[in-house]
Each structure stands twice: as C-alpha cells, then as structure tokens.
Structure 1
Amino acid sequence: MVSVTSYLASLMVFSIVLISIVSGKMGMTVAKLSHQNDLAIDLVTCDTAKGCNPYSGDTDCNTKLPVLCKQIDKSPRPAYAMTCTDHAMPKEFYCGWTMGYIATTPKVAASTFSTIGDVDAYCADAFGPGWVTAEFHDSRYIPGMNGATCANAQWTQWGAS
C-alpha cells in the first residue's frame, strides 16, 4: 500500500468512473479540474465535456476507467479559494470539502461489479482499510466559506457522520 498523502499530492488521473447501481449500465465520469500544490489538494468535478449526469450516468459501464475512492478522516477544510460558480446551489456546494483523501484505482470496467459494496471492497483492496467508493454528494460545505473563512480550526464538520 502506498502512503495516503502521496496519492493526494500526486493524483494524475483525469477520468474517473463512479458506479450508478440504479441505472445498471451507465456510470458518472468526473474529471480533475485542478491541483493546488501549496495545500496538496485536488478539485474534481463533473466532467461537463462528456455531458455529466450524476443520476442516470454518462459513461457506458463496460468502459475501463479508474474508480475514485475516498478515505474520510474528518480533516478540517484547508483555506482554498472558491473557484466554482453558483448554479442550482450556491458556489460553495460545488467546491465542497471531502473531509479526507481521494485516490484512483487502476482502470476497471464498472460492469465487473454487482453492488456498491463490491466497488467499496475494490477500493479497500487497492488502498487499505477505510477506503470506499467516492460518491457525487460526498463533499460538505458551509454557506459563505471561502479562503480562510470556515477553514482549518473554523471548520465545523458540517454534516460529518
């Protein structure tokens, strides 16, 4: 197993498939938008170039792509700037904090998995105990957070479970 921090600092994969068990044949693809070296964080977002659809999927599950995995340790949000824009929700929603680490697996066809539990096990096999599949609604936000506002010691673990 490679160290967690090295994965966070060196995430180089640009397309990740998230399994949509409900649709059965399509998964959601996200893309790495940016990396902030000073904070060792990555911003991943819905891959709008592919017509991202978090509810019915946008990528055939027979396509081999990495799986985006997460390990939540309830880390406080670093003081990153909000670079997202408002849509149906406030911009903070789209630049939320995952409260931990993300990493990608080797490429695999999502159709090889039967349940989200199978994908979670794949993440755990790749990175170790506590790693599970990342999901579209994972990030947390506090209205008004930006830069140092609601960061580090000010982070309240909103919605953490």
Structure 2
Amino acid sequence: MAQIADVAMPFLLMSAFRGLVDAVHARLDEAGFAGVRATHGFAMQAIGEGCTSVELGARLGVSKQAAAKTAAALAAMGLITREPGVIDRRERILRPTAHGSEMLAVSAAAFAREVGQWRARVGDRRVDATLATLAAAPRGQRSPTDLSDWG
C-alpha cells in the first residue's frame, strides 16, 4: 500500500465521518425517523438523560437561543419533552421521549453496523487501532458534542 501523506488526514477523517453519518441517517429514514439531521443526533447525545437549554448550549458550543431553537425542533419531532424544573419552574428540563430513545437506539445500531463493515473490510486490529488513536488524540477545549462551527 502506498504511503498516504499526513496532509490527507483531515480529509480522510471528514470523509469517513460523513460516510458514517450519511449511512446512519439513511437507516433512520428507513426506520421512520425522516427529517432527523446530524445536528439533531448530536443534540440528543448532548441532552443525555436530561439538561436545560442553557446546559445544552454549553455542551454544543452554541448560544442559549440556538439551543432553544434546536430543542423546539426536537420537541416538534416528538424526540424530547420540556418539563418544568423542580427548583425553578421557569426553567425547562429537556428529556428524551420514548420516541427519542428509540431514535438513539436505531442510530447506535446503525453506527455499530457501519463500524462492523469497516471491521469486515480491514480487520478488527486496524479498526481497534484507529479507535485507540482517535481516543488518544488531543481534543482542545471542546466537548465531544461541540460542533458549533460545523455546517
């Protein structure tokens, strides 16, 4: 195999990322989750078991207004609820609905299937080495779900 130039790394990472995300969204579409975009999936991951819009904004690296807009879209799709806070009733706690949890499960299964195809193509050792390398790579100051400047 020919040596690949280091400068190719960001393009290869981006291409692999897009391939994974596009395949997962095709599966989500087939499973009845039409209209779910990558930003919705990242927001659902950032919401986790629950958080406020302010916390969602911090986790995504976006403004409170942008987080509230994303939360409104997720609620409109039936993926989250917005419940009053226990201490401050004006605050809204974002939580996945059963439909949102199902979307995350379908998404996780689709990612596992796609990585399984990588494993079949290049072998477990190489995929495990890639995952270990990416896990050890510096991340800067961003949270794993911060895609604030990603289109």
Question: Taking structure 1 as the reference length, what is the TM-score of the superposition?
Answer: 0.24
Structure ranking higher in helix proportion: 2
| Rg larger in structure | 2
Question: Taking structure 2 as the reference length, what is the TM-score of the superposition?
Answer: 0.25
Structure ranking higher in strand proportion: 1
